[in-house]
């Protein structure tokens, strides 16, 4: 069975400082991993995804994540936080499928707070 | 264009009302999804349609009735809802079909904020 653990429910940073949002996964197979961001009362927007190509994945808005199989981690980072980064972030696993559709497994979310 | 649209943005309904939520995508995706999201929680999968056929119903109460009239449209019909059904309802789509894999990206709409009085 696939599972995702987001290690922090809240992360607080100051504007201009680095961001680290932690995610560990459990999977019997090589997983596909995603980070989505959700601003208040909005839908989910894809930040980046890992699909067994390069282990360092670059996404939108300066975010990147590194897939570490030995640590079963997929942490999200950004060198310098911006006020607009304040949002809820979800780490997501997509289990292997031959059905043509996905049953995504969501982490519980990390709320990123950015102070001036 | 990677847009999924949802209408209405907000909906307030009484427990005896009948209403519908609508979702539309024009990316040629063959898999479409309904999720329910409560405050401060991740989305919960409700239904999956693949090639316009219902493929997954996650034991959702019958007061929620999905419909996929064609490959671009997805509806969620609501009847006799309870106050605990108040939530953000998200629609999503992915490539799906014979080419669909676990690496597909699900694109989410902005959601409909439902309040049941």
For residue range A60-86, list pLDDT tens digits in order. 999 999 999 999 999 999 999 999 999
Rounded distance, CA B66 to CA B102, Å? 24
Contacts of B28 in chain A (CB under 8 A): none
Interval A23-45 mean pLDDT = 90
Q: How far is it, in rounded angstroms, from Cα A47 to Cα A65?
A: 10
| Backbone phi and psi for residue B43, each to the nearest 5 degrees, phi listed first | -65, 145
Confidence at residue A28, expressed as pLDDT on a 0 to 100 scale: 73
d(CA B3, CA A45): 11
Q: Cα–Cα distance between B48 and B54 in angstroms, integer? A: 6
Residue B101 has a pLDDT of 78
pLDDT-based confidence at residue B99 (cuts at 50, 70, 90)? low
Select the highest-mean-pLDDT range: A43-52, A97-106, B99-108.
Answer: A43-52
Instruction: Give the closest of B33, B42, B88 to A107, CB-based.
Output: B42
pLDDT at position A58 over 70: yes
pLDDT, average across residues B68-83: 95
Cβ neighbours of B79 (radius 10 Å): 15
Residue A114 token pair: 């950015």
Asked if A80 is an interface residue toward chain B (Cβ–Cβ < 8 A), one would say no
Q: Is the pLDDT of residue B52 over 80?
A: yes
Return mean pLDDT, chain A: 93
Q: What is the pLDDT of residue A48?
A: 96
- Chain B positions in Cβ-Cβ contact with residue A54 (cut-off 8 Å): none
Which residues lie closer than 8 Å to B76 by C-beta, 6 or more apart?
A: B20, B21, B23, B34, B46, B47, B64, B65, B66, B67, B89
**DSSP code at position A15:** T
The DSSP secondary-structure symbol of A85 reads G
Alpha-carbon distances, residue B101 vs A79, A96, A99 (angstroms): 32, 7, 8
Q: What is the pLDDT of residue A95?
A: 85
* Residue showing tokens 């590194």: A66
**Band (B18; pLDDT cuts 50, 70, 90):** very high
**pLDDT computed for residue B109 by the predictor:** 97
Chain A touched by B30 (CB under 8 Å): yes
* C-alpha–C-alpha distance, residues B5 and B18, integer Å: 21
Give how far A18 is from chain B: nearest CA, Å. 24
In a mutagenesis test of the B interface, which of A23, A43, A48 is the best target, namely the one with the most B β-carbons within 10 Å? A43
Looking at CA atoms only, how far is residue B73 from chain A in angstroms? Answer: 17
Q: Kindly state whether B62 is in contact with chain A, defined as any CB-CB distance less than 8 angstroms.
A: no
Predicted pLDDT of residue A51:
84
A37 token code pair: 């961001």
Over 70: is that where the pLDDT of B75 sits? Answer: yes
Helices H / strands E in chain A, number of each: 0, 12
Q: CB–CB of B100 and A101 under 8 A?
A: yes
Q: Does the distance separating the beta carbons of B104 and A102 come in below 8 Å?
A: yes
The strand ranges marked E within chain A are 3-6, 10-14, 19-21, 23-26, 32-38, 44-50, 56-58, 64-68, 73-78, 87-94, 105-106, 110-115
Whether the per-residue pLDDT at B88 is higher than 90: the answer is: yes
């Amino acid at each position: 069975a696939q599972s995702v653990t987001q290690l922090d429910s809240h992360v607080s940073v100051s504007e201009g400082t680095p961001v680290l949002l932690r995610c560990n996964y459990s999977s019997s197979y090589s997983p596909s991993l995603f980070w989505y961001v959700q601003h208040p009362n909005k839908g989910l927007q894809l930040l980046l995804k890992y699909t067994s190509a390069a282990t360092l994945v670059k996404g939108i808005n300066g975010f990147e994540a590194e897939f570490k199989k030995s640590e079963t981690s997929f942490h999200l980072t950004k060198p310098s936080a911006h006020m607009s980064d304040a949002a809820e972030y979800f780490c997501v696993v997509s289990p292997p499928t031959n059905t043509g559709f996905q049953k995504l497994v969501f982490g519980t979310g990390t709320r990123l707070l950015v102070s001036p | 264009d990677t847009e999924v649209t949802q209408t209405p943005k907000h909906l307030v309904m009484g427990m005896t009302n009948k209403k519908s939520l609508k979702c539309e995508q024009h990316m040629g995706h063959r898999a479409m999804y309904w999720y329910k999201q409560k405050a401060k929680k991740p989305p919960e999968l409700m239904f999956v349609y693949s090639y316009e056929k219902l493929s997954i119903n996650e034991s959702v109460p019958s007061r929620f009735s999905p419909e996929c009239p064609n490959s671009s449209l997805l509806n969620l019909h609501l009847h006799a809802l309870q106050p605990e059904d108040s939530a953000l309802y998200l629609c999503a789509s992915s490539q799906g079909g014979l080419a669909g894999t676990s690496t597909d990206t699900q694109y989410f709409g902005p959601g409909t904020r439902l309040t049941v009085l």
